[in-house]
Amino acid sequence: EPEVTQTPSHQVTQMGQEVILRCVPISNHLYFYWYRQILGQKVEFLVSFYNNEISEKSEIFDDQFSVERPDGSNFTLKIRSTKLEDSAMYFCAVTQGNGGQPQHFGDGTRLSIL
Partner 1 sequence: RKEVEQDPGPFNVPEGATVAFNCTYSNSASQSFFWYRQDCRKEPKLLMSVYSSGNEDGRFTAQLNRASQYISLLIRDSKLSDSATYLCVVNTFTGGGNKLTFGTGTQLKVEL
Contacts to partner 1 by CB under 8 A: 31, 33, 35, 41-45, 48, 50, 55-56, 58, 89, 91, 93, 95, 98, 100-108, 110
Q: How far is the CB of 63 from partner 1 (least distance, A)?
A: 18
> What is the Cα–Cα distance from 28 to 96, expressed in whole angstroms?
6
Residue (90 or 113) nearer to partner 1, CB: 90
Q: How far is the CB of 36 from partner 1 (least distance, A)?
A: 11
> What is the Cα–Cα distance from 103 to 92, expressed in whole angstroms?
9
- Whether residue 55 contacts residue 32, with contact meaning beta carbons closer than 8 Å, is answered with no
Q: How far is the CB of 76 from partner 1 (least distance, A)?
A: 18
Please state, as a whole number, how many other Cβ atoms lie within 10 Å of the Cβ of residue 107: 12
Query: DSSP 3-state helix, strand, coil percentages of the chain (rounded to 5)?
Result: 5, 50, 45
Q: How far apart are the first and last CA of the chain?
A: 34
Residue (19 or 47) nearer to partner 1, CB: 47
Residue (55 or 81) nearer to partner 1, CB: 55
Residue (73 or 98) nearer to partner 1, CB: 98
